[in-house]
Amino acid sequence: MKTFMLEPRMLTMGGVFYPTGYVFAMFPNLEDADKVGTALQGAGFHSDDIMLLKPEAILDQVSPTVSAIAGPMPSVGSEAATVRQYTQLARQGHCALLVHAASEGSTQRLMEVVHTVPFSMAEKYHFLAMERLH
């Protein structure tokens, strides 16, 4: 598992956080995020494909990506609203894992592991759509 670092490929053309092919899963505490990250490696995910985001990383790197579209009007897509949800949870101390899971099978395996602990929310970023995972 590696520490998160925002990369240009994780952004829309407008600069909003949108890591296509990844699942962004949030957890109420660091212990559960660490537990899931370790378990994912045992479930066949490569450690380089699992990134841990502590609340500070979400607030410092992910949250500012919505500032490019900030204003009185809502954005056309849901990506900005989703980042705002991440921000709200991070302010409450929630952590996240960003995991590369390009296929449906890898997403299912990932969510089986995520369901072993309480989680706040999980989103799968597809090419032109976001999927709320339960």
Q: What is the pLDDT of residue 71?
A: 53
Q: What is the pLDDT of residue 70?
A: 54
Provide the 3-class DSSP secondary structure of residue 25. Answer: strand
Q: What is the pLDDT of residue 68?
A: 55
* Whether 36 contacts 113, CB under 8 Å: yes
Q: What is the pLDDT of residue 133?
A: 84
Q: What is the pLDDT of residue 129?
A: 74
Q: Is 64 exposed, middle or buried (0-12, 13-18, 19+ CB in 10 A)?
A: middle
Q: Would you give per-residue pLDDT tens digits along the chain (134 residues)?
A: 999 999 999 998 889 999 999 999 999 999 999 999 999 999 999 999 999 999 999 999 999 999 755 554 455 568 999 999 999 999 999 999 999 998 999 999 999 999 999 999 999 999 877 778 87
